[in-house]
Amino acid sequence: MPVDIDHLTYDELVALNHRIVERLKFLETMHAHKAMMTFDVGARVSFASSRDGRLTGTLVKFNRKTVTVLTDDNRQWRVPPAMLSPIKDVETGTTIMPHDDNRSE
């Protein structure tokens, strides 16, 4: 969708930029909200940390753009909901090994 902005003044371009940024923030918030609604408070979840590997815990709170997860080692993490994976029937402290379809048997 081409938009001709060549005729806009500096002030009009700044105003357009503000509207675009606000729209992008709104869409990001809606995306995060939609991802959050796939979980419930109290749900068992897992997520990957670059420092600590795969962690498991319980979702304890919905924030504006993230959720708060209390991990099995009693640490609180604010995690984007898109990074969460639901887990079921996993006892506290049990390590979850990701499934690797490329492993040789």
* pLDDT for residue 92: 54
Per-residue pLDDT of the chain (105 residues; tens, 9 = 90+): 888 899 999 999 999 999 999 999 999 888 888 888 888 999 999 999 989 899 999 999 999 889 999 999 999 999 999 899 998 764 555 544 444 444 444
Pull the structure tokens for residue 38.
Answer: 């796939």
Domains of the chain by start residue, with CATH: 8-89 (2.30.30.140)
Q: What is the C-alpha to C-alpha distance for residues 55 and 52, in angstroms, rounded to an integer?
A: 7
* pLDDT for residue 89: 61
* pLDDT for residue 86: 92
CA angle 32, 24, 64 (to 5 degrees): 35
- The 3-state DSSP class for residue 86 equals strand
